[in-house]
Amino acid sequence: MRNYLVTGGAGFIGSNFIHYMFRKHEDIRIINVDSLTYAGNLGNLEAVKDRDDYTFIKADIRDKEAIEKIFSENDIDVVVHFAAESHVDRSIVNPEVFVETNVLGTAVLLNAAKAAWENEDGSFKEGKKFLHVSTDEVYGSLSDPSDYFYETTPYDPHSPYSASKASADLLVKAYIDTYHFPANMTNCSNNYGPYQFPEKLIPLMINNALSGKKLPVYGDGKNVRDWLYVDDHCKGIDMVIDKGVMGEKYNIGGHNERENIQIVKTIIKTLQEILPDDDPRKKGISEDLITYVEDRKGHDRRYAIAPDKISRELGWLPDTKFEDGIKLTIKWYLEHKDWMDNITSGDYQEYYKRMYKV
């Protein structure tokens, strides 16, 4: 029995990871620690909430006392650290909270794990690992179309979000280099799939198109992102936990580079294909909804991950092609209209109070 402490498990990737792990493993226990910011939604975990091997703890990763208590009361084997402020646009408006959660919160977790796992002689107990989940955005922007981000690519973050993630990555690296702290880091490209908060490109466009609203596209729409189906990211993290060489970092990405405008047009086309002719929403969905808006400040032009190392050394390959993943994702949002309505109305934030009566 392995005990996992998942931080940020009520968010998009964290909740997908919890579902993935319960599908793949029988002998695990998961403690999900999340402070339930606007991005955290316990509705994502409805299907697992009553399991004996799952526990939810509402706590802030910046809260040293609360985090140390979790480590002292539970024999944690693996920390999977997702909790973060994750939206670039919000970081441009309010950078401080990104530094507080992404940098200081990571420091609190690293310290608590180190204190719990360290032996008297400075070595660490067997079987412990801290998996820090990071992003390709720390590498900056690529201008040469034949270039890719490798694990050795120097960091060059441009937004407060990517700068805060880069800082957290360097802290993890410092713990590895200084203490031989048992950790791995993964830097993944843009994820898409179920349970993504509808401020991010794909669910935003799906939701707007279904509501007959304009589809706002930044600048000329030609910024390139490298898209990966969320389950393939979860698979990569699971493999790095099991097989990753201690102290190493692994890039994860599926070679799915797409311009933002291509993504928007694919969503429009797929919705037109999937929706039945008598669905009243279908008529309003066309490229006429696309509207170009002022570009994001400091908008990086192109991200592209080279996943060679994780493929070569750990045998990771993505299972879901973009063409299939985008269909699965759109179908999921169509079948979970209540989930989307709940989020867009803000009702999900009442869920915790209703469930836990606090």
Ligand X SMILES: NC(=O)c1ccc[n+]([C@@H]2O[C@H](COP(=O)([O-])OP(=O)(O)OC[C@H]3O[C@@H](n4cnc5c(N)ncnc54)[C@H](O)[C@@H]3O)[C@@H](O)[C@H]2O)c1
Q: How far is the CB of 143 from ligand X (least distance, A)?
A: 21
Instruction: Confirm if 330 and 274 have CB atoms less than 8 A apart.
Output: yes
Can you count the helices (H) and strands (E) in the chain? 13, 12
Residue 32 contacts by C-beta under 8 Å, 6 or more apart in sequence? 6, 9, 10, 14, 18, 45, 54, 55, 56, 57
Q: How far is the CB of 327 from ligand X (least distance, A)?
A: 19
Nearer to ligand X, 8 or 124 (CB): 8
Instruction: Confirm if 325 and 229 have CB atoms less than 8 A apart.
Output: yes
Q: How far is the CB of 284 from ligand X (least distance, A)?
A: 28
Q: How far is the CB of 305 from ligand X (least distance, A)?
A: 10
Nearer to ligand X, 114 or 165 (CB): 165
For the beta carbon of residue 77, count every other beta carbon within 10 angstroms: 19
Please give the residue whose beta carbon sits closest to ligand X in the complex: 11
Nearer to ligand X, 105 or 157 (CB): 105
Contacting residues toward ligand X, per CB under 6 A: 8, 10-14, 34-37, 39-40, 60-62, 82-86, 101, 105, 133, 135, 165, 188, 190-191, 197
The residue type of 270 is T
Nearer to ligand X, 100 or 118 (CB): 100
Residue labelled with tokens 């919160």: 105
Q: How far is the CB of 112 from ligand X (least distance, A)?
A: 13
Residue 100 is given by DSSP the state I
Show which residues are catalytic.
136-137, 161
Cα–Cα distance, 2 to 227 (Å, whole number): 31
Cα–Cα distance, 2 to 206 (Å, whole number): 38
Q: How far is the CB of 346 from ligand X (least distance, A)?
A: 15
From residue 143, how far is each of 27, 80, 148, 153, 297 by CA, in Å? 46, 32, 10, 14, 17
Residue 105 is given by DSSP the state I
Q: Where are the beta strands (DSSP E) in the chain?
A: 2-7, 28-34, 54-58, 78-81, 129-135, 183-188, 190-192, 215-218, 224-229, 249-252, 257-259, 290-293
Nearer to ligand X, 34 or 275 (CB): 34
Nearer to ligand X, 124 or 256 (CB): 256
